[in-house]
Amino acid sequence: MPELGNAALLVSLLVAAYAMVAALLAVRKGYGELLQSSRNSIYVVAAFTTIASIALLFALIGRDFSLKYVAEYSSRDMTLFYTISAFWGGNEGSLLLWAWTLALFATVVVWQNRERHRDLMPYVMAVMMGTETFFLFLLTFIASPFTRLAVTPPDGNGLNPLLQNPGMFFHPTTLYLGYVGFTIPYAFAMAALITGNLGSEWIKSTRRWTLFAWFFLGLGNIFGAQWAYVELGWGGYWGWDPVESASFMPWLTGTAYLHSVMIQQRRSALKVWNMVLIIVTFALSIFGTMLTRSGILSSVHTFGQSNIGPMFVGFLGLIVIFSVALLVERLDRLQSENELDSLVSRESSFLFNNLLLVGAAFATFWGTVFPLVSEAVRGVKITVGPPFFNQVNAPIFLAIIVLMGICPLIGWRRASTENLIRNFLYPFIATMVFALVLFMGSIRESYAVVAFSLCAFVVATILLEFYRGTRARHRTLSEGYLAALFNLIWQNKPRYGGYFVHLGIILIAVGVAASSLYKMENQVTLRPGESATVKDYNLTYKGLNQYPTASKQVVAANLEVSQNGKYLGNMAPAKEFHRGHEQPNTEVDVRTTLIEDLYLILTGWEDDGTANFRLIVNPMVIWIWIGGVVLLFGTVIAFLPDRRERVGGG
């Protein structure tokens, strides 16, 4: 089977390289048959990368420890679920996942466009296969998952215990769907630049791919946050680890792109800017993969280290040089005679939203690379840690939330004063009342009042939009309110899907703001029978339980939890000592409600049973995950076919 895998990778590499060259030759020389051959080659690449992937899965499931990869990332005691997730637990496997996903996406793109975009497609195919060739080259010559060991060990090392969590099944896969997905709009953008076919056609054709990539990148980040929250055991969900930042940056620029292409579609403006955004987003996607997979920066993701860094740097450099050169070459044809009817318009508010989104991505990038800058200029190593990113990004994100409220209410082209008053009066009053209510309650910190009020403002504007639309249908078409609401959404899917996405983001923002600003923590040392409190929770430590399982030794504390005198149950934060791994793994215990999480960490213990705990109350964290679900719902709505597309409208 491994030999088959290796052979499949080699065939895939050769065929992908051929598909790229054939597509380019076909279009230059006008050979229709060669183009068809290139198209078929892409199907072949998909088939052979599938064979290679199945071969790796078989090796993992069949416990073929003669393979270095299988021995390093799996062991006999692992369940089928985690054995499968070992596929992307290490470098080689995750690179194969990249290549396999891209080959499948390329197949779908070629099939979708078999009758369309005859001018663009050869170049789209060449760019996709160029990228595919790079990954297959790495897999074949530098990081093959099918390398054999000289001596077959009786068992493998097993997957890093930190990765043995359901979140790790979904986090890398969704993130990769996002990273790889951005290859498609990028390939179309390059094809548009090469052919000089610079209208909005390529943008329309890639709207769903962009939405798909953007959504999965966001979802990947949320899964990652959820994994960090329950698995890393430090009480938070986002640590601004360089790899986290690296997956967040393309999401930010991708969000900017999703908004700014609307202006190109409606007004044929911002063509250069949109090109820049998709190039940056794709380059950041490769950069994100590179950071995870090369170990250039030290981070909690260092289990992915290897020596493929220079190859990635080279590829990234090639992408940037190739893209920028093409862009400069076409600059004169991209210059659109941008016109705007008014400074106060949807278009201008979108531009500021773009500025802030790109600004946040830049601030994150700047923070990530500043230690290198400092070392180069001053020769002094410094750290740019989580507090920096929080302090710099918080005001930027709040400003983005302001614009999220404002943008949808300002009309396209020109907003009159009456229009502004009509649209903003009620949300503004609602926000002021909300702020007052917060202030009258116990929320006094200016940051919290501002953050929650702004979120309320956005929710008010969105609800107003739904209300107005529903009322209009009810009046003019005599539909019942529920039917009117349903039809309103169904007949304007991109728009109302977008509003749901905004709602999801606001829920996430509320969860982040509340848990950052009102986190409460108590670090205690308790003897069995002693109690401690955090907020209004009382915890009585009953003692330690130690027991072995098939793969690990568990030390769990038993704590009786009550709130305001009412018994809630027992909780058991633990440390797990996995066989073959020196460092124990922290297993937190979390009690979640809609209002707050009680988050318990066992940090250590003595022989006499005395134990150290961190007792944390994290308010409203569950709303981050609920926000993710709303985001999913909104994206699915925006993704569904819309009647306007059939009649060729925007």
Q: Which CB atom, from 148 or from 535, has the smaller least distance to other proteins? A: 535
Instruction: Print the binding letters for residues 483-522 with other proteins: x by CB under 8 A, - otherwise.
Output: ---------------------------------xxxxxx-
Helix (H), strand (E) at residue 525: strand 520-526
Q: Which CB atom, from 56 or from 232, has the smaller least distance to other proteins? A: 232
Instruction: Print the binding letters for residues 134-163 with other proteins: x by CB under 8 A, - otherwise.
Output: ------------------------------
CB-CB neighbours of 459 under 10 Å: 20
Q: Which CB atom, from 281 or from 299, has the smaller least distance to other proteins? A: 299
Cα separation, 114 vs 404, whole angstroms = 38
Residues 6+ apart with CB under 8 A from 428: 457
Q: Which CB atom, from 192 or from 384, has the smaller least distance to other proteins? A: 384
- What's the maximum distance between 2 C-alpha atoms anywhere in the chain? 84
Of 37-45, 103-111, 172-180, 236-244, which segment contacts other proteins by CB under 8 A?
236-244
Residues 445, 530, 536, 606: which binds other proteins (CB under 8 A)? 445
Q: Which CB atom, from 519 or from 542, has the smaller least distance to other proteins? A: 519
Asked if residue 497 lies in contact with residue 644, where contact means CB atoms within 8 angstroms, the answer is no
Which residue, among 281, 282, 289, has the nearest Cα to 256 in the 3D structure?
A: 281
- Residue 320 engages other proteins in binding (rule: CB under 8 A): no
Of 177-185, 315-323, 598-606, 636-644, which segment contacts other proteins by CB under 8 A?
598-606
481-491 helix and 446-477 helix, angle to the nearest 10 degrees: 100
Q: Which CB atom, from 419 or from 491, has the smaller least distance to other proteins? A: 419
- Within residues 613-642, the interface with other proteins by CB under 8 A covers 614
DSSP string across 539-574: EEEEEEEEEE-SSEEEEEEEEEEEETTEEEEEE--E
- Residue 239 engages other proteins in binding (rule: CB under 8 A): yes
- Within residues 558-587, the interface with other proteins by CB under 8 A covers 586
Q: Residue 263 CB, nearest distance to other proteins (Å)? A: 11
Cα separation, 175 vs 185, whole angstroms = 17
Which residue, among 228, 226, 200, 238, has the nearest Cα to 117 in the 3D structure?
A: 200
- Within residues 286-305, the interface with other proteins by CB under 8 A covers 298-300
The SS3 call for residue 254 is helix
Torsion of CA 470, 474, 475, 476, to 10 degrees: 90
Q: SS3 string of 17-40? A: HHHHHHHHHHHHHCCHHHHHHHHH
Q: Which CB atom, from 96 or from 243, has the smaller least distance to other proteins? A: 243
In one-letter notation, the amino acid at residue 333 is R
Q: SS3 string of 2-22? A: HHHHHHHHHHHHHHHHHHHHH
Cα separation, 632 vs 626, whole angstroms = 10
Q: Residue 417 CB, nearest distance to other proteins (Å)? A: 6
- Residue 10 engages other proteins in binding (rule: CB under 8 A): no
Which residue, among 209, 194, 214, has the nearest Cα to 102 in the 3D structure?
A: 209
- Within residues 170-199, the interface with other proteins by CB under 8 A covers none
Q: Residue 523 CB, nearest distance to other proteins (Å)? A: 8
- Within residues 340-399, the interface with other proteins by CB under 8 A covers 340-344, 348, 351-352, 355-356, 358-359, 362-363, 366-367, 370, 373-374, 377-378, 380-388, 390-392, 394-396, 398-399
Q: Which CB atom, from 97 or from 163, has the smaller least distance to other proteins? A: 163
Q: SS3 string of 90-107? A: CHHHHHHHHHHHHHHHHH
- Within residues 406-425, the interface with other proteins by CB under 8 A covers 417, 420-421, 424
Residues 112, 305, 338, 562: which binds other proteins (CB under 8 A)? 338
First CA to last CA distance, the chain: 50
Instruction: Print the binding letters for residues 55-74 with other proteins: x by CB under 8 A, - otherwise.
Output: --------------------
Q: Which CB atom, from 446 or from 476, has the smaller least distance to other proteins? A: 446
